[in-house]
Structure 1
């Protein structure tokens, strides 16, 4: 059974989501704010979190940033705000999806199931993108059973994007994740490596593609077959 965490200071929202998710066979944990959620995360294994943005003590953006730093499961942000800059902030701190209130519980279920499927494509060593397999243990990529060796940074960049399909990474995030905090170059380094990856895999559009999110960064999309 999958464990879902609901974090919202609105008891009516929590009750609605609890009944909806339990009827679908999920086990539900609840927290009324970000601080309570942080404490719960140290004690329970969570497979997906549904997090409200506007909460006391620790808001949804802060909690999402914390989850992305210490845990490895998808996050859906709930908010009454529908401004582009609010969505950009949500994705920049690491949310995987964004749903504006009021919302239909069925739509939340669709989004949850899609995210859980994507995360299940990734295990501790191998990532599968249709006919492409990325082996993080051997640092090899297999395309239609043929081995392809990539330069280290290109491999790490591809593996990072592929580990979280459809999640938007900012250039700054990718610099820190792949090159580290002490890197002295600039964000154009990411653009150059993305360009090289696209060139290498230009004949594999049926497997995946790396999309530019204008003004934000990049995301990897797995092709539907």
Structure 2
């Protein structure tokens, strides 16, 4: 399922989220004042001119485009267009749509951007709300970045690449740490515990313990 992140005032964010989820997207929302520097999504919709000064929106778009390299669609209200028409070209957005936001037009623009990004081609593993970007070595849960150590990332990548398959601690040591690693196999338990604390909660369970044997990444329905 394609993921959208909507940065907009609450009423607009709820309406767009409801409409786009009906079209098969998984939507996450944030208010313009929130820190969204670590979000991850196929496309980000950013409301312009409402809820925060134009300069702040410009800085946000610049950060998301240059640092996160995310495709952006600017949602430009009538008031914002009247006030900033000459400045909109400075926004580092891939596309613009003017109020009123027609659902079909917005859907076409989003779908086009997603197609272009997939053609450009970051490789990803998508498991429910968990996204592992194999090209950038990044992990996102429910649209937000998860900070992992190198070994935690490699352990997650390996297990998620083989869902449903059980691996013993020795097998994980050999595959993730390497054959020349001489530490005890309990280091696997420690890293699994730390990894679970970062990607699992009441709504998300990805790694199963196979008693007296090892671990496996759960197959998602």
TM-score w.r.t. the length of structure 1 is 0.47
Larger Rg: 2
| TM-score in terms of structure 2 length | 0.48
